[in-house]
Amino acid sequence: MNLAEGVQVVSFVILGALVLGAALGVVLLPNIVYSAFLLGGVFISVSGIYILLNADFVAAAQILIYVGAVNVLILFAIMLVNKREDFAAIPGRWLRNGATGTVCLGIFALLSTMVLITPWSVDKTSAPVADTLVAIGKHFFSDFLLPFELASVLLLMAMVGAIILARRDLIPEPSPEEPTATALTLPERPRELASVDK
């Protein structure tokens, strides 16, 4: 996308403000459902920044994968296991908060240092890639084939682990007269219906 420089700057400022505002809402709002919806807003705003960078495939992948799959999965997980529990006082919580703050400040300092030492000058002589999809496909199946396949195996392991965790409440208690049930023959335990108070 070839926009005028002023339009690009204004668009980047608006998208950057949307990213920062939605990200602050994700971590500061007490309602986790609102935080999940704002996380989708962060992903959409980042895809707009990718469009400004002429990375059309990455922007489309951002919308399809992060907004359409990951964020929806997070919302489903929140809706299914949203249990209201009172937080009990944890002994030594100040130590955990201090360690978390130290790690966050360290990451912020590292990222700030990388932003400051990175040469941001643009090489005007090199022509932009005409078809980014073909270029990314060539890199995926040549230079980055091993990381691409390792990421696929990692996602498969995460999916199998999620299935095992989701079916954990369906595993029956072993009785001495019955043989141990395998993962292929798990009978479902009937759930008790919640009583409706009128």
Domain residue limits, the chain: 1-81, 131-172
Structure tokens at 135: 């270029």
* Model pLDDT, residue 16: 94
Q: Kindly list the averaged pLDDT for each block of 10 residues, start to end, along the chain of length 198.
A: 78 94 90 89 93 86 88 82 66 87 94 91 69 80 88 87 72 59 54 55
Cα separation, 108 vs 110, in Å, equals 5
* Model pLDDT, residue 106: 96
In sequence order, what are the residues at sequence separation of 6 or more whose Cβ sits closer than 8 angstroms to the Cβ of residue 5?
A: none
* Model pLDDT, residue 142: 87
* Model pLDDT, residue 127: 66
* Model pLDDT, residue 141: 85
Q: What is the 3-state secondary structure (H, E, C) of 140-192?
A: HCCCCHHHHHHHHHHHHHHHHHHHHHHCHHHCCCCCCCCCCCCHHHCCCCCCC
* Model pLDDT, residue 13: 94
* Model pLDDT, residue 21: 94
Cα separation, 172 vs 1, in Å, equals 58
* Model pLDDT, residue 160: 86
- Amino acid present at 98: G
Contact 109, 33 (CB under 8 A): no
User: Among candidates 54, 67, 71, which has minimal Cα distance to 8?
Assistant: 54
CATH number for the domain formed by residue range(s) 1-81 = 1.20.120.1200
